[in-house]
Amino acid sequence: MYKCNRKSLETNIKEFAKIGDDYKGGITRYALSKEDEKARDYFVKQMEEIGAIITYDDLANMYATLPGENPNLKSIVMASHCDSVKNGGNYDGILGVISAMEVLKTVVKENILHKHNLVAMIWTNEEGSLYPPAIMVSGMVCNQYLPENISKNYLYDNMMNSKSILDNKTTFKEALNNFKYKGVKDNRLSKEKYLAMFETHIEQGPILEANNNDVGVVTCVLGMVNYTIKAVGQANHAGTTPMSYRKDALYAMSKVIQIIHDELDKLPKDLVYTTGQVYVHPNVHTVIPDEVAIMIDIRHESKEVINQAVEVLKNLPKEVYGCQIEVEVNWTRDTVYFDKTLVNYVKQSAEQLGYKHQYINSGAGHDAQFASYMLPTTMIFAPSINGRSHCDEEFTPLEQCGKAIDVMLNAVLRCDKDN
């Protein structure tokens, strides 16, 4: 069994943490920014040093390829992203890129024979924190393989027109055209040229740490549904309308949220749901709110449990405190299961290395979930201390990063050998 070099790994984690350093412990590294470009420069420099061939596609996804012994075989790719959210951590995404780099470095250093090309890849704009939506570019690259209700959210022209949240003017297309690493469409990840994709990522949750495990063998990305719930009341003067005359949509919505929590908490404990987005009209302190909408996001592996949760929404009272309650579906996505053979390679690697591991699902979305519609794909998780992610405090100890990479390295070599 092979292991990656911890010193090299440590240096890489530290060096990438400097690019977009927010001086509060984390980074802000938006897609297609100067910082993103610097991170790519660093990737190119290191990968060229080991003799990898660098290419990039029309969406600025980058590929460092170590040619295999048999040029007729498809490539095996290891991919993640190097963009971050605002004041994000030093591990989300970038650990996957570093992992892919460390695997290639180890293969070169240890002179490991491989039939297939081995590729380290960087996805552009996974976070979508400057140019929404999240997992944008994998949604574009894999578009023709996605179910229709998902693919329509990532159409090329619409994505190109996505505007910067900072100036509400610069489009994704403009930023891309000005980016150093915009290449040609022919270089894109494709079913024709690639055999399988692996992604190492931090868990971004507390489960591995709570179970005292070092590695997560990821089996799926949770299915989710997204609904809008609306309360429609009546606007009126805040000073002249007696309480008994009011139809206060915000008050009604607070009751609705209470009911949702009470009812959904009766379902299996691993169901997660969030009412993270609220719209209040007219949102003026002298006016009784006449329209309030919330967006609810519900996730679980089992479709049956999701359906039970949806039933709760559908059975909400039609009227609360004199306000009409309306429930509308925005979109749904089934659980995406990773390729069983690849999941097994990961599991066997962890076993043979003697690392403490467990099966785990991903509550967060990842590029790998879209890639998995196109080609066999799987993920490996490293623990997140205190379950923290998308924040300055995000942390995974060096040795646990190393173990996740060792698992990917040996799983990739197994995949190379068996195919």
> Which positions touch Zn ion (CB under 5 A)?
92-93
For Zn ion, the closer of residues 92 and 102 by Cβ is 92
The tally of CA atoms less than 13 A away on the side-chain side of residue 130 is 27
Q: Are strands 118-123 and 75-81 parallel, antiparallel or unpaired?
A: parallel
CB of 394 to Zn ion, least distance (A): 10
CB of 250 to Zn ion, least distance (A): 34
For Zn ion, the closer of residues 215 and 320 by Cβ is 215
By C-alpha distance, which of 37, 32, 80 is closest to 176? 32
Cα–Cα separations (whole angstroms), residue 294 to 37, 300, 328, 363: 37, 20, 11, 21
CB of 205 to Zn ion, least distance (A): 12
CB of 281 to Zn ion, least distance (A): 34
CB of 369 to Zn ion, least distance (A): 11
By C-alpha distance, which of 160, 49, 129, 98 is closest to 390? 129
d(CA 396, CA 387): 10
For Zn ion, the closer of residues 367 and 406 by Cβ is 367
Tokens of 211: 């179970």
CB of 202 to Zn ion, least distance (A): 8
Tally Cβ neighbours within 10 Å of residue 312: 18
d(CA 127, CA 38): 18
The two counts, helices (H) then strands (E), for the chain are 13, 14
For Zn ion, the closer of residues 94 and 252 by Cβ is 94
Which helix (H) or strand (E) covers residue 329, if one does? strand 323-333
d(CA 334, CA 331): 10
For Zn ion, the closer of residues 92 and 203 by Cβ is 92
C-alpha dihedral (254, 258, 264, 265), degrees to nearest 10: 140
For Zn ion, the closer of residues 100 and 320 by Cβ is 100
Residues listed for the chain? 419
CB of 265 to Zn ion, least distance (A): 29
For Zn ion, the closer of residues 79 and 353 by Cβ is 79
Instruction: Report residue 86: phi and psi, to 5°.
Output: -65, 130
Q: In the complex, which residue's CB is closest to Zn ion?
A: 93
Q: Which one-letter DSSP state was computed for residue 126?
A: S
For Zn ion, the closer of residues 55 and 204 by Cβ is 204
d(CA 76, CA 125): 22
CB of 80 to Zn ion, least distance (A): 7
For Zn ion, the closer of residues 82 and 229 by Cβ is 82
CB 149 within 8 A of CB 377: no
CB of 128 to Zn ion, least distance (A): 11
Q: What angle, 0 to 180 degrees and rounded to 10, lies between the N-to-C axes of helices 6-18 and 34-49?
A: 160
CB 32 within 8 A of CB 175: yes
For Zn ion, the closer of residues 221 and 415 by Cβ is 221
By C-alpha distance, which of 398, 404, 56 is closest to 218? 404
CB of 98 to Zn ion, least distance (A): 13
Tally Cβ neighbours within 10 Å of residue 32: 25
